[in-house]
């Protein structure tokens, strides 16, 4: 394209101002609709991803005995990892590139008592510094800023082991009527306050101390029990966890269940993209297999352990696809109609250009330049308007609850570069295709026919 062609194309855009403005508005608002809907879709995917890795504490990679992820709560002893296997697994994990940290975990169930009544609980046990390390990752801090998750009290790593400190989910603490923590109820004698379990007097009596009684069956099938102190209360991210979860130091849980085994590992990585994560999981599986360790290795988005992520992203992907097809259709028709009508009305001009010696390719180049200029300017205007809309929208905290969650997240717009590129390429393609077809059909006609037959 030479400078003369560009100047002619620019001049011709002003000759059909009304139609070009209508086409430009259609392209601009179509582009805005694509950016906005794609931004919502990307945002939801990001939130569910962060919630899975950090809110549900799956980590980037989860390692369990074969079938252990689904069955360890039912039969934790049968789906466990012994000490020899732990050494081999930890050696393999330590060789992973981009490793941030990893942690063994143990799960268990039983009854938790407040001195007057008992309720079922699910225990998730990790090394005492695990929660502190998770909450200090960049990913968790971003997730915390985007959601209403909260934690109050002490870190498990800050309390002496003999205290048997545990963290308890907010929902379970309310069920147990235990809304105070150890630091709030601590006395010099450090003994639980006397309880009055008569109806009407229990709430004040129960909340006077932070003591819990944990009971269940150990991994040999024998009855086990022990005291624990609430040192932290947190908002459980999912509904089931918020009403039943207790997080305990791994040493305390192993002592309670009389075992030195664990049920799996969570692995956190730094700066890893999905494609690289797939390769890391594959390499880790090969290393563990070579070491003679039979385990399941899952990435955080594996449907076997995270079906909610797949369900939500598939649903949002379908919604975005429908909107995208409608918008793409409107934009495509607008560009096609504009190109066709413009060429029809300017058939005499095409005839004059042909009579002056312009080749068909030169004429196509002129019309293509006009339509591409119109499309690019319309997309740039749409991108600027979309950026303004997104900036204003993101100034506000718009709470939205994702499926099966208890804490609202900030529903910002989060545009993804790939969606913008696809939308722009589509608009440019339609501009080139529609203009080429329209000009080709007219420029092939006889010059005399083009000069004296006015099409409308």
In the numeric block, which tokens belong to residue 205?
């009596």
Predicted local distance difference test score (pLDDT) of residue 450: 62
Tens digit of each residue's pLDDT (9 = 90 or more) over 296-353: 999 998 988 988 888 888 887 787 788 778 877 877 777 777 777 777 777 777 777 7
Tens digit of each residue's pLDDT (9 = 90 or more) over 171-187: 999 999 888 888 887 65
Backbone phi and psi for residue 243, each to the nearest 5 degrees, phi listed first = -100, 0
Q: Of 369 and 105, which is predicted with more confidence?
A: 105
List the one residue out of 281, 259, 260 whose CA is nearest residue 269.
Answer: 281
Predicted local distance difference test score (pLDDT) of residue 378: 85
Q: How many CB atoms lie within 10 A of CB 441?
A: 12
In the predicted model, is pLDDT for residue 2 greater than 60? yes
Q: What is the dihedral of CA 115, 117, 123, 126, to 10 degrees?
A: -20
Tens digit of each residue's pLDDT (9 = 90 or more) over 407-427: 788 888 888 788 788 878 877
Q: Of 139 and 10, which is predicted with more confidence?
A: 139
Give the three-class secondary structure for 137. coil
Give the three-class secondary structure for 386. helix
Give the three-class secondary structure for 214. strand
Task: List CB contacts of 320: < 8 A, sequence separation 6 or more.
Answer: 37, 38, 40, 41
The DSSP annotation for 244-313 comes to TEEEEEHHHHHHHHT-S-BSEEEEEESS--HHHHHHHHHHHHHHHHHTT---EEEETT-TTT-HHHHHHH
Report the C-alpha gap between 431 and 87 in whole angstroms: 61
Evaluate whether 419 touches 316 at the Cβ level (below 8 Å).
no
List the one residue out of 205, 256, 206 whose CA is nearest residue 228.
Answer: 256
Evaluate whether 265 touches 60 at the Cβ level (below 8 Å).
no
Tens digit of each residue's pLDDT (9 = 90 or more) over 240-283: 889 999 999 999 999 999 999 999 999 999 877 766 888 999 99
Evaluate whether 236 touches 243 at the Cβ level (below 8 Å).
yes
Q: What is the maximum span of the chain, computed from C-alpha positions, in angstroms? A: 109
In the numeric block, which tokens belong to residue 176?
């147990």
Evaluate whether 60 touches 277 at the Cβ level (below 8 Å).
yes
Give the three-class secondary structure for 408. coil
Query: Do you know the residue count of the chain?
Result: 456
Predicted local distance difference test score (pLDDT) of residue 366: 77
Evaluate whether 210 touches 178 at the Cβ level (below 8 Å).
yes
Helix axes 17-50 and 138-146, enclosed angle (nearest 10): 120
Backbone phi and psi for residue 427, each to the nearest 5 degrees, phi listed first = -65, -45
Domain map (residue ranges) of the chain: 3-50+309-452, 57-305
Confidence of residue 456 (pLDDT cuts 50, 70, 90): very low
pTM: 0.79
State mean pLDDT over 85-104: 94
Report the C-alpha gap between 262 and 124 in whole angstroms: 11
């Amino acid at each position: 394209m030479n400078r003369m062609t560009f100047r002619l194309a620019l001049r011709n855009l002003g000759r059909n101002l009304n139609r070009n403005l209508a086409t430009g508005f259609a392209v601009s608002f179509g582009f805005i609709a694509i950016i906005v809907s794609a931004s919502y879709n990307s945002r939801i995917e990001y939130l569910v991803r962060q919630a899975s890795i950090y809110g549900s504490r799956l980590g980037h990679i989860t390692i369990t005995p074969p079938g252990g992820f689904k069955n360890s709560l039912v039969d934790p002893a049968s789906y466990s990892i012994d000490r020899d296997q732990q050494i081999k697994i930890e050696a393999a994990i330590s060789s992973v590139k981009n490793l941030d940290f990893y942690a063994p975990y143990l799960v268990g169930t039983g009854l938790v008592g407040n001195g007057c009544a008992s309720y079922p609980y699910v225990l998730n046990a990790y090394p005492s510094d695990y929660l502190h390390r998770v909450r200090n990752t960049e990913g968790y801090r971003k997730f915390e800023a985007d959601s209403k998750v909260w934690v109050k009290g002490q870190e498990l790593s800050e309390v002496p082991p003999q205290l048997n400190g545990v963290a308890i989910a907010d929902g379970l603490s309310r069920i147990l009527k235990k809304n105070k923590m150890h630091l709030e109820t601590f006395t010099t004698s450090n003994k639980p306050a006397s309880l009055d379990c008569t109806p009407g007097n229990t709430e004040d009596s129960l909340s006077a101390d932070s003591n819990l009684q944990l009971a269940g069956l150990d991994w040999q099938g024998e009855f086990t029990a022990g005291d624990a102190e609430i040192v932290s209360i947190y908002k459980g991210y999912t509904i089931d966890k918020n009403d039943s979860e207790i997080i305990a130091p791994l040493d305390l849980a192993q002592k309670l269940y009389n075992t030195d085994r664990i049920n799996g590992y969570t692995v956190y990585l730094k700066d890893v993209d999905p494609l690289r994560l797939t390769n890391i999981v594959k390499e880790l599986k090969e290393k563990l297999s070579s070491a003679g360790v039979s385990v399941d290795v899952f990435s955080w988005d594996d449907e076997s352990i995270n079906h909610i992520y797949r369900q939500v992203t598939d649903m949002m992907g379908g919604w975005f696809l429908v909107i995208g097809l409608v918008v793409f259709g409107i934009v495509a028709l607008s560009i096609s109609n504009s190109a066709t009508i413009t060429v029809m009305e300017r058939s005499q001009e095409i005839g004059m250009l042909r009579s002056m010696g312009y080749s068909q390719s030169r004429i196509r180049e002129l019309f293509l330049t006009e339509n591409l200029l119109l499309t690019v300017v319309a997309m740039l205007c749409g991108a600027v308007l979309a950026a303004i809309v997104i900036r204003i929208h993101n100034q506000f905290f718009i709470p939205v609850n994702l499926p099966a969650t208890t804490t609202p997240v900030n529903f910002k717009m989060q545009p993804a570069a790939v969606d913008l590129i696809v939308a722009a390429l589509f608009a440019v393609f339609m501009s080139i295709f529609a203009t080429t077809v329209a000009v080709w059909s007219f420029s092939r006609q006889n010059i005399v026919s083009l000069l004296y037959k006015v099409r409308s």
